[in-house]
Structure 1
């Protein structure tokens, strides 16, 4: 048994039932492990959630930095950030839901440490919006904070409805969301302005590959 398998089972149950409503025994049952063995792998249930969220947020931040590094233009950087975030949410929907909803379930110390990681990621977006306004690439009436929060929330929502067997591919969803974000700052067809194309999403190690037993 690998720790990734334990994390995947936990993500599956946390996303379906919520952290508070999921017991360590249920995770063990999903893996056909007794509680004592599971504690050996993970420690407490909160330790398990912290490990999942830390890995996911570190990957999210790394992908964000890579997205920004693709261009020196804030407008393109915005497009790449949107493409990266949408791709991650589409390919890792259950992990994305856990990140989005369960930060509040953590005790104060763990909450603060993971909030730092999330804030570092959001700071990338804030910097892009500030520089986009300063450089005149975004329309002057753009409310940087409101637009940033709206775009990130819009990207998060992909995890709630995207299906691989749906009518649109991940790349097509990325293109549409990049264009929507572009219009928020006064740019038409931003997806056509991305010199390197859409960001290729990566499946996280903690994203479940199996269904509920």
Structure 2
């Protein structure tokens, strides 16, 4: 599909060169279409960026909301949130990096909407952490700092994960859940027998060769 091909080309170039340094002709060349056809499918370059970021943030929100619906226990909810965040980020490395770092490239007309989506997603973590602290499941001196640390350490997976490395993705997801639990002084037994790891979704914008482009930076 031409739209998906354009989105994959955009993600590759935005992640590698940055949004500002990527031209319309480069996008068309990478997608194998001319500029007129490119405008037909995506409108402006910023429209393309917005569509990529919106799809990525919506998938994070949907997966996070599903994790919260799966249980009423804050520890299990947090485990689902962390594992889905790590999984989606790992298999959509370039898309996740574009969504994370190109918010600054958006115009005043588009930034509030996308920033609102990011805030909505991070609010899922805040909601779980606050309730978990209130009922005694979590123990931390600073909930806001804990939230930032948990989200940011998961986002960092986009810089080094690749399939075929030393560890399988589900093992990495569980490791990060364990790290979040240690940060919050959670009793490890709280997750005994709980299946909170679900296969993440590959977004249409993610280039098929994204992993090979970042393989040299893999730590595992």
TM-score, with normalisation over the residues of structure 2? 0.91
Alpha-carbon contact 1:67-1:77 (below 8 Å) kept: yes
Separation in structure 1 between the aligned mates of residue 189 and residue 118 of structure 2, nearest angstrom: 26
* RMSD, aligned α-carbons: 1.6
Please identify runs of 4+ aligned residues in structure 1 that moved more than 3 A: 188-194
Q: What are the Cα deviations for residues 13-57 of structure 1, in whole angstroms up to 9, with x where unaligned?
A: 111111111111111111221111111111110000001111111
Separation in structure 1 between the aligned mates of residue 196 and residue 36 of structure 2, nearest angstrom: 48
Partner of 2:217: none
Alpha-carbon contact 2:75-2:191 (below 8 Å) kept: no
Separation in structure 2 between the aligned mates of residue 118 and residue 31 of structure 1, nearest angstrom: 28
State the secondary structure of the residue aligned to 1:108.
coil
Q: What are the Cα deviations for residues 188-212 of structure 1, in whole angstroms up to 9, with x where unaligned?
A: 5479436223122111111111468
Q: Which runs of 5+ in 1 are unaligned?
A: none
Partner of 1:161: 160
Separation in structure 2 between the aligned mates of residue 193 and residue 11 of structure 1, nearest angstrom: 39
Partner of 1:200: 199
Alpha-carbon contact 1:132-1:138 (below 8 Å) kept: yes
Q: Which runs of 5+ in 2 are unaligned?
A: 214-220
Separation in structure 2 between the aligned mates of residue 102 and residue 194 of structure 1, nearest angstrom: 39
Tell me how many residue pairs correspond in the alignment.
Answer: 211
Partner of 2:135: 135
State the secondary structure of the residue aligned to 2:102.
helix
